[in-house]
Amino acid sequence: MRRITTRLSRRVERALAAGGDPCLVELHGVSLRVPLPLATALLSRRFDPLTIGRLRQHTRPGMTAVDVGAHVGFYTLLLARLVAPGGRVVAVEPAPANLDLLRRNLAPGAPVPIAVLAVAAGAQDGDRTLRLSDSSDTHSFYQHPLVGRTQPVLVAQRRLDHLLPTPPDVIKIDVEGAELEALEGLEGVITPNSPRTILVEVNPACLAAAGSSPAALLGWLDRHGFGELELLDELAGVVHRGAEARRAALDPERPNDWFANLLAARR
């Protein structure tokens, strides 16, 4: 991937010192504004090279992609580039500040239509309390194991199969422990042929806080025909495939802050 430049690093440092607005960064050819603390973290490491490489392989022009837990829009904008021309993207994000920045990032224009759903994805419709943390990428319905103080906010939760007009081709889900609930709320648009690919975060500690587990997540994928698995461990820079991906996802010895992205495709 392209590393963020030294010049950008200096800009971020100046903005942090001034307590300024969100900072404009460029990642993998995608330009977007991110909260300043997150910009600082992005400068210190490469950002999801394994995951982005696999998404490029599995996403084609003309497809429909859904970004569940869109945050401020990096994956939304990346998917828009990958499905152009002729495709479309749906971004799902409930947190008010993230939603505002997401819309600002999409405002300059995108190569395909992008619909923004200001809701949380879940297994049923209703209102629900979202716990907002100091870090914009760790908001959760549950007590995040790595987050102390949170602020509650009431958000709308919807089954996405009530909102999506057609089955999508690619789904990305990162919702801090509620991944299985989001998948259950998509079952009405799951067909034998669509989607072709699901990318979902596996965070055992967050799943446990939600009363779920990596095993439950794998069970759902198995039941719905997603038998080709790749576990993309960005922290270690390792890709586990097939049975090894399953073993790695279920490893009980993982530290409490471990997470990885699981790419599941149809056989």
Query: Going residue by residue through the chain (267 aa), what tens digit of pLDDT does each one get?
Result: 223 333 344 443 443 333 457 888 888 889 889 988 787 777 666 789 999 999 999 999 999 999 999 999 999 999 999 999 999 999 999 999 999 999 999 988 899 999 999 999 999 999 999 998 877 777 888 887 777 677 999 999 999 999 999 999 999 999 999 999 999 999 999 999 999 999 999 999 999 999 999 999 999 999 999 999 999 999 999 999 999 999 999 999 999 899 999 999 998
What residues does each domain of the chain span? 1-45, 48-265
Residue 138 confidence (pLDDT): 75
Residue 27 confidence (pLDDT): 86
Residue 7 confidence (pLDDT): 37
Under 8 Å between Cβ of 94 and 120: yes
Residue 44 confidence (pLDDT): 62
Residue 13 confidence (pLDDT): 40
Residue 12 confidence (pLDDT): 39
The beta-strand segments (E) located in 147-191 are 151-158, 170-173
Residue 45 confidence (pLDDT): 66
Question: Could you give the CA distance from residue 55 to residue 162 in angstroms, rounded to a whole number?
Answer: 26
Residue 20 confidence (pLDDT): 52
Read out DSSP for 64-104? EEEEES-TTSHHHHHHHHHHTTT-EEEEE---HHHHHHHHH
**pTM > 0.85: yes or no:** yes
User: How far, in whole angstroms, is CA 266 from its chain's centroid?
Assistant: 20
CATH for 48-265 is 3.40.50.150
Residue 47 confidence (pLDDT): 87
Map residue 192 onto helix, strand or coil: coil
Under 8 Å between Cβ of 147 and 121: no
